[in-house]
């Protein structure tokens, strides 16, 4: 069975541009959460979606948005990119809202120049 | 709100030596505790977790952690490390509702196993 898949694996963008990151959860999982991991730090929660509805939002500006599709895949969008948005973006998949059985993808490495 | 402290940012250790990675947390409510491992250029993998019951939890690759409520700690230990254990280790805590927004990671400890 495929695990959590994220695309692209690496991305370079210029300041002010927009970026879309994608995540496909494990088959049967209905919850997707997004985390930002800045170099040298632990992951920080951005969003959780469950059954296509937003169920949690971290302390991130409105430039960050996300959505979940009927097949439970998800997109994370970031507008007006800043240098500080450079990070590894991780997607976590779980069958329900709880993270006791969450599985993480390999992440998307975003570099803003 | 919960918080996690991992006092050691880097831990070098010789192969086959024992290791302890420290994790302390702060919370006003009951918590679940986790250790994740991150190998270079990869995502996070769950190593072990404490939800309830026995305060000593073990992983399949020889790591163990003990939940100490009085000291608010969840230190990770392994009696004999291998080169392949070289990775970043993250302690995480959540309240018992355990939703994503309640999941807080520590800053991580980089374990380097030297030959």
Of B43, B49, B101, nearest to A100 by CB-CB distance is: B49
Which residue is it, tokens 């169920």? A55
Of A4, A99, A103, nearest to B103 by CB-CB distance is: A99
Distance CA B25, CA B27 (A): 7
Which residue on chain B is closest to A103 by alpha carbon?
B45
Asked whether the beta carbons of B66 and B49 are under 8 A apart, the reply is: no
Q: Which residues contact A102 (CB under 8 A, 6 or more apart)?
A: A33, A92, A93, A94, B46, B100, B103
Min distance B91 CA to chain A CA atoms (Å): 9
pLDDT number for residue A1: 58
Taking CA atoms, A49 is separated from A66, B101, B112, in Å, by 8, 11, 36
CA angle A25, A28, A33 (to 5 degrees): 35
Asked whether the beta carbons of B32 and B98 are under 8 A apart, the reply is: yes
- pLDDT in tens for each of the 113 residues of chain A? 579 999 999 999 999 999 999 999 999 999 999 999 999 899 999 999 999 999 999 999 999 999 999 999 999 999 999 999 999 999 999 988 887 888 999 999 999 99
Mutate to test the interface with A, among B43, B90, B92, B106 (most CBs of A within 10 A): B43
Buried b (16+ CB within 10 A) or exposed e, A29-51: bbbbbbbbbeeeebbbbbbbbbe
| Phi/psi of residue B102, nearest 5 degrees | -100, 5
The verdict on a CB contact (< 8 Å) between A45 and B44 is no
Asked whether the beta carbons of B82 and B61 are under 8 A apart, the reply is: no
Spans of chain B, pLDDT less than 50 = none
pLDDT number for residue A79: 98
Distance CA B72, CA B23 (A): 9
The verdict on a CB contact (< 8 Å) between B44 and A43 is yes
Of A33, A40, A107, nearest to B100 by CB-CB distance is: A33
The DSSP secondary structure of A13-46, one letter per residue, reads E-TT--EEEEEEPPTT--EEEEEEE-TTS--EEE
pLDDT number for residue A101: 80
Which residue on chain A is closest to B99 by alpha carbon?
A98
pLDDT number for residue B40: 87
């Amino acid at each position: 069975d495929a695990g959590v898949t994220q695309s692209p694996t690496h991305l370079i963008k210029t300041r002010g541009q927009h970026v879309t990151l994608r995540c496909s959860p494990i088959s049967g999982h209905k919850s997707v959460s997004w985390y930002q991991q800045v170099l040298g730090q632990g992951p920080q929660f951005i969003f959780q979606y469950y059954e296509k509805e937003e169920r949690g939002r971290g302390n991130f500006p409105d430039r960050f948005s996300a959505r979940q599709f009927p097949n439970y895949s998800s997109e994370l969008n970031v507008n007006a990119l800043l240098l500080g948005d450079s990070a590894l973006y991780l997607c976590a998949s779980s069958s329900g809202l709880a993270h006791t059985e969450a599985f993480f993808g390999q992440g998307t490495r975003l570099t803003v120049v | 709100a919960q918080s996690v402290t991992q006092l050691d940012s880097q831990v070098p250790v010789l192969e086959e030596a024992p290791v302890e990675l420290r994790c302390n947390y702060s919370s006003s409510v009951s918590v679940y505790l986790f250790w994740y491992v991150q190998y270079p250029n990869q995502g996070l993998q769950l190593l072990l977790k404490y939800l309830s019951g026995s305060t000593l939890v073990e992983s399949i690759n020889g790591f163990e952690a003990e939940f100490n409520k009085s000291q608010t700690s969840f230190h990770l230990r392994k009696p004999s490390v291998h080169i392949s254990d070289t990775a970043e280790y993250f302690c995480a805590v959540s309240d018992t509702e355990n939703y994503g927004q309640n999941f807080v990671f520590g800053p991580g400890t980089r374990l380097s196993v030297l030959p």
